[in-house]
Amino acid sequence: MMKDKILVIGASGQIGVELTLALRRIYGNAQVVASDLREENDLLKGTGPYVSLDVMNKEMLHVQVIRQNITQIYLLAAILSATGEKNPGLAWHLNTQSLLNVLDIAREEQLQKVYWPSSIAVFGPTSPRQNCPQQTIIEPVTVYGISKYAGEFWCNYYNRRFGVDVRSLRYPGLISYKSSPGGGTTDYAVEIFNEALEEKKYTSFLSAGTSLPMMYMPDAIRATIELMEASAANIAVRTSYNLAAISFSPAEIAAEIKKHIPGFAITYEPDYRQAIADSWPQSIDDSAARKDWGWKHEYDLPGITADMLLNLRQE
């Protein structure tokens, strides 16, 4: 059997750095090729192969896939929700064309598997706000959400029509300390930790009570790898799986941080990102992921807060 050889596209981003390192631990350093438009992240340097790659250049992508004997692709390049609203045309173009490039090449080269993340941003103001189900009314109002929802149907189409084994998760907001977030509405939940340690204060761009679905990066990385390692027979959802851990608001995370940093103070100055957050559900029903391939989250808010502060203090 051919040995797995993985290409991670967007490897220098918030998820890409940790996912690449986790995949290298499992498959071996030489078997996981990191790639990005921007320079190699410092944490990746010396841990395995890196190529500079623009996913929009389909020919060059195809050449790399053949040259490196790639059998699986993890496509992480995207423009996220807040940045997307500043340049909707670019966000649509990158988020959808990058996926089509990868799916076409996966079909042509008969790759074993493809991973592509969707987001809770597919849901809109007409979706249920609590325990939002896998299948429900989905009317996204951001270009990011529209591009992710369209992408989900392209995944489903390439799977049904051409047999491409493409798998996907609707991540909630992700919290991490290794690589900075890249322009999302949930980025406040990372910024707050850095500011709490450096300044003992933070001004939130979301209002005090804005509750959103969130997850700690180690849970998200484990979910991704568990989904990709599950038997194809267990993957019933070929658009994208709802995925959940916890939900909290800026006021709730601030209260948790205060337990560790008593002098910490939070103020609120909601900006354009408030409307994006208000259009998303507050909690997600991920029972299909739990049933089909055994998903179970580990980290709660106290656990995330303690681990974030511990690791950021050591940096």
CB 128 within 8 A of CB 279: no
Which of ligand SER, ligand NAD, none is residue 55 near (CB under 5 to 8 Å by kind)? ligand NAD
Burial of 151 (0-12, 13-18, 19+ CB in 10 A): buried
- Does position 257 interact with ligand NAD (CB under 6 A)? The reply is no
Q: Is 144 a catalytic site residue?
A: yes
* Residue placing its CB nearer to ligand SER in the complex, 266 or 276: 276
Q: How far is the CB of 108 from ligand SER (least distance, A)?
A: 29
Q: Which two tokens stand for residue 295?
A: 């998903």
Q: Alpha carbon of 245 to those of 20, 160, 179: distances in Å?
A: 22, 30, 21
236-247 burial by CB neighbour count: b if 16+ within 10 A, else e?
ebbbbbbbbbbb
Which of ligand NAD, ligand SER, none is residue 72 near (CB under 5 to 8 Å by kind)? none
Q: How many residues can be counted in the chain? A: 315
Of the residues 6, 7, 13, 249, which one makes contact with ligand NAD according to CB under 6 A? 13
The residues that touch ligand SER, with contacts defined as CB under 6 A, are 80-81, 119, 121, 144, 173, 184-186
Q: How far apart are CA 191 and CA 205, in angstroms?
A: 11
- Does position 173 interact with ligand NAD (CB under 6 A)? The reply is yes
Show contacts with ligand NAD in window 26-55 (CB under 6 A): 36-38, 53-55
State the catalytic residue, choosing from 50, 144, 171, 188: 144
Q: How far apart are CA 124 and CA 146, in angstroms?
A: 10
* Residue placing its CB nearer to ligand NAD in the complex, 55 or 196: 55
Which of ligand NAD, ligand SER, none is residue 240 near (CB under 5 to 8 Å by kind)? none
- By annotation, the residues acting in catalysis are 144
Provide the binding-site residues for ligand NAD, judged by CB under 6 A.
Answer: 9-10, 12-16, 36-38, 53-56, 76-78, 80, 94, 117, 119, 171, 173-174, 181-182, 184, 186
